Amino acid sequence: MNIWPIGLSTGCFYQNNVLDCLKAIRESGFSIVEVCSAPRHLDYHDLGAVGAAAARIDELGMAAFSFHAPFADHIDISALEHDRREIALGEILRAVEAAATLRAQYLVIHPGPEHAMTPPPAERLQRMENTVSVLNQVARRCRELGIGCALENKLPHLLFGHTSDILWILDALEDVDAGACLDTGHANLSGDLFMLVRKLAGHLRMIHVNDNNGNFDDHLPPGDGRINWVELLHDLSVSGFHGPLILEIAGTGDSVTTMSNARRGRSYLREVSRRMALKPR
């Protein structure tokens, strides 16, 4: 049975400066993080600020495993308009530079727009091709800077929010090393969590672990919702997954409570893994 490293996304403190939350994260025993790109949290346009975050992470004996690229309505890499795609590409390339400054191993990207739409088939195909074209440019820059690129499965109501979409995009990319980041909460809402584990097995680089009750993207700590974590961790083990589990949980506005939730989620995952390891074969 695999014992996966467990990290924490700083996104649970997205409304606060990243420098103000790193010590609390480290004191809770987390040594790896995914750094969030929310504007109030870390201005990825300011490489001086990014460098200060990198220095603080290093000073605390931590490592930034990944950096989450920005996502917003105006960052639409599938856009039909060339100028809009260029703006989106520029934002993500700035995030690539920030990831390199953080010495992150991966840049996590949402592959598509952040709003719901149901375009006609011809437009949908064009948007998918636009997405691949932009991602090819991003992946090339990532490779130049020694960073991996991981595409995250999206919420089911968003364009490209289903298993077949992310598989199509991954297959169409020129960079065969581009991988995937499985978000357990998104996949649970899509109803295809276990299918995604099987279908993405060869592509998985990391997991965003969070729970929900099947209705909303609650970002609960593992064990607080309805995901079958015993089955999920078993399937990940069988698939040969060796990457980290990055807790991506909602903040509470109170750092003490937030970190208590993070530790509880970590303990739950460790306990499930321990029991699986002890189970007679």
251-257 average pLDDT score: 93
Confidence of residue 115 (pLDDT cuts 50, 70, 90): confident
Residue 101 in this model has a pLDDT that exceeds 80: yes
Q: How far apart are CA 104 and CA 122, in angstroms?
A: 37
Check: CB of residue 131 under 8 Å from CB of residue 111. yes
Distance CA 245, CA 261 (A): 15
Average pLDDT over residues 193-203: 93
Summarize the confidence of residues 245-260 as an average pLDDT. 95
Mean pLDDT of the chain: 94
What is the arithmetic mean of pLDDT over 237-243?
93
Confidence check: pLDDT of 113 > 70:
yes
How confident is the model at residue 280, as a pLDDT?
Answer: 61
pLDDT, tens digit (0-9, with 9 covering 90-100), for 1-60: 468 999 999 999 999 999 999 999 999 999 999 999 999 999 999 999 999 999 999 999
Question: What confidence tier does 173 reach under pLDDT thresholds 50, 70, 90?
Answer: very high
- 236 vs 115, residue with greater confidence: 236
- The radius of gyration of the chain's CA atoms, rounded to the nearest angstrom, is 18
Could you tell me if 93 and 147 are in contact, meaning their C-beta atoms sit under 8 angstroms apart? no
Quickly count: other Cβ atoms within 10 Å of residue 117's Cβ.
13
**pLDDT score recorded for residue 2:** 62
pLDDT average, residue stretch 262-280: 89
Q: List 9's β-bridge partners, or say none.
A: 34
pLDDT at 256 over 80: yes
| C-alpha closest to that of 34 among 51, 15, 14, 11 | 11
Res. 277: pLDDT tops 60:
yes
Tokens of 88: 């989106």
pLDDT band at 211 (very low <50, low <70, confident <90, very high): very high
Q: What is the pLDDT of residue 87?
A: 95
Residue 162: pLDDT band by 50, 70, 90 thresholds?
confident
Residue 117's pLDDT is what?
85
Average pLDDT of the residues in 73-93:
95
Q: Over 60: is that where the pLDDT of 217 sits?
A: yes
